[in-house]
Amino acid sequence: METPYILQIVTIAKERLRKADRPLSDKELCRHIVSILKKRLGKKDRTHSSKERFRKQVFPDIVCHERWGESIIEISPKKYGLIGWDFKAYKNEAVLEWKEQPLSDATQKMLELLRRMNAYKLEELVASIIERKFSYNVKVTKKSGDQGIDLIAERLSYDSVVKGKKEIMLVQVKQFKGTVSRPEANKFKGAVDDYLKKDKWASFTGLFITTGKFSDGFESCLKCYENTGINFCRWDGRELVENLLTTGIGVKYSVDKEYWNGLDPSLEKRIKV
């Protein structure tokens, strides 16, 4: 493929990403690129005549091109964001930019933010992630009497065999800085069991989330429950941040201060990223 054509595509993509307020999927990005190229090169130019053909045959090669790598980062599979974003609105305030800091540093700073925020606000944030990532309807439980279950997520099953029944996900969110060990896994298993005795579901998942880490004992304990009919999953702090990035919640290629301050005003003076 000719270099000028690649450069045109990269330039169009960069401009689109600069104006975006969230990560864009390759499908969204390709739709825009093709529409601009048709205006510039003509609708009959076969190199970009079909959005689907362009996505499958041309776009993947360009994503791997070295010039693309200089300006664009793949936040998650098929989601792209611009690096070196110029946040003029923040003037001299320090912001998190992928170009300036390794992803590992960015992850650590967002993790610190999660550990400082109000515990109930953290539950609301996790609810937003699960709604966007898995298409569940999520309810935050009452602050007392929840038996350790912080979020209840439900959706109608896609399986025709159990048509009309609901899938349920029970979530516990622990704002830990240290390590979550085996006793917490046992308590979580008990809380899930107690809840599921109340009704019958098409399928059910227990998801344990912590801003800390999991011990080997926690991992082995959950494996013991694999044959109970309950799908037990867990996210540690880094996986939680990764899901924040891939869903685009609270992130605008850097930390979205307006979002975090709106979610939990007590953080307003502490967000120094």
Residue 90: predicted pLDDT = 31
CA distance 265 to 258: 10
Q: DSSP per residue over 56-110, as a string?
A: IIIHHHHHTSHHHHTTEEEEETTEEEESS---GGGTTS----TTTS-HHHHHHHH
pLDDT at 162 over 70: no
Q: What angle do CA 120, 122, 127 make, to 5 degrees?
A: 100
pLDDT digits (tens, 9 = 90+) for 168-194: 999 999 998 889 999 999 899 888 888
Say whether pLDDT at 210 is over 70.
yes
Q: Which domains does the chain have, with CATH numbers?
A: 3-83 (1.10.10), 109-267 (3.40.1350.10)
The string of pLDDT tens digits covering residues 59-79 is 877 776 655 655 666 666 567
Considering the chain, what is the average pLDDT of its residues? Answer: 77
Provide mean pLDDT across the span 28-49.
85
Note the pLDDT of residue 159.
Answer: 66
The better pLDDT of the pair 146, 88 is held by: 146
